Amino acid sequence: DTEVTQTPKHLVMGMTNKKSLKCEQHMGHRAMYWYKQKAKKPPELMFVYSYEKLSINESVPSRFSPECPNSSLLNLHLHALQPEDSALYLCASSQAPVGTDTQYFGPGTRLTVL
Amino acid sequence: AQSVTQLGSHVSVSEGALVLLRCNYSSSVPPYLFWYVQYPNQGLQLLLKYTSAATLVKGINGFEAEFKKSETSFHLTKPSAHMSDAAEYFCAVNQAGTALIFGKGTTLSVSS
């Protein structure tokens, strides 16, 4: 099984809201990733967790706050977002160490910020 | 620094024709190379990957890619296109300690 699940599938939020995106995998992977993808563009890396510790933060604004509660779960907490943050947010996982194996992607959460 | 270049942002073929999507990489050491496909409003699905075991790599849905070190290329091919192959295709590279670096993507259109 190479499934990564993400909830919700769609999310609409105002600029003052607080919401969270969730990602789950049961492949025993110890590296998990958040990407942001705008239309007609490749995914852009936001964060990487390796063994539940944040290992890469690509200078993402603090209104995005990642969390890795355990080896199977990855959250992305959202607060005070801007309309330009509207995008498809993709979660992925792989064997650790980072960059040594295939990344498997979830279906994404389509976020719209009003 | 690693990089990936996909030649042609849009490729159009007729159903039954050969599909050729081009990817060139820049890496100082042998890389891991991947092709992913993305259908509208979906996540990325792995088509195939190169990890130095064999230079000709077979993937899902009839796709294959050949790693050519002398040309630093990893082009994706399929002998006969189907309408269902219409999608966005991304070539990507990574090495230990880094996350994936994607090319800009190629949109494949298939006409009947």
- The pLDDT tens digits for B60-106 are 999 999 999 889 999 999 999 999 999 999 999 987 777 889 999 99
- Select from B42, B44, B95 the residue whose CB has the most chain A CBs within 10 Å, as the one to mutate to test that interface: B44
Is the pLDDT confidence value at B16 over 90? yes
Query: CB distance from A114 to chain B under 8 Å?
Result: no
Query: CB distance from B99 to chain A under 8 Å?
Result: yes
pLDDT, position A1:
64
Query: CB distance from B104 to chain A under 8 Å?
Result: yes
- The answer to whether A103 and A94 are in contact (CB under 8 A) is yes
- The answer to whether B33 and B52 are in contact (CB under 8 A) is no
Distance CA B59, CA A33 (A): 24
Percent of chain B topping pLDDT 90:
73
Give the mean model confidence (pLDDT) for residues B40-67.
92
Query: CB distance from B40 to chain A under 8 Å?
Result: no
Query: CB distance from A10 to chain B under 8 Å?
Result: no
Distance CA B6, CA B91 (A): 7
For chain B, give the mean pLDDT: 92
Please give the distance of CA A11 from its chain centroid, rounded to a whole number: 14
Distance CA A46, CA A34 (A): 5
> Which of helix, strand or coil describes residue A65?
strand
Distance CA B77, CA B69 (A): 17
Compute the CA torsion angle B27, B32, B33, B38 (nearest 10 deg). Answer: -130
Distance CA A37, CA A27 (A): 24
> Which are the contacts of B70, defined by CB distance < 8 A and separation ≥ 6?
none
Contact call for A99 and B99, based on CB within 8 A: yes
What Cα–Cα distance (Å) separates residue A107 from each residue in A63, A73, A84, A88? 23, 15, 21, 9
Residue B6, amino acid: Q
**How would you write the pLDDT of chain A (114 residues) with one tens digit per residue?**
679 999 999 999 999 899 999 999 999 999 999 999 999 899 999 999 999 999 988 889 999 999 999 999 999 999 999 999 999 999 999 988 777 789 999 999 999 999
pLDDT, position B35:
97
Chain A residues touching B99 at Cβ < 8 A: 33, 45, 48, 56, 98-99, 103
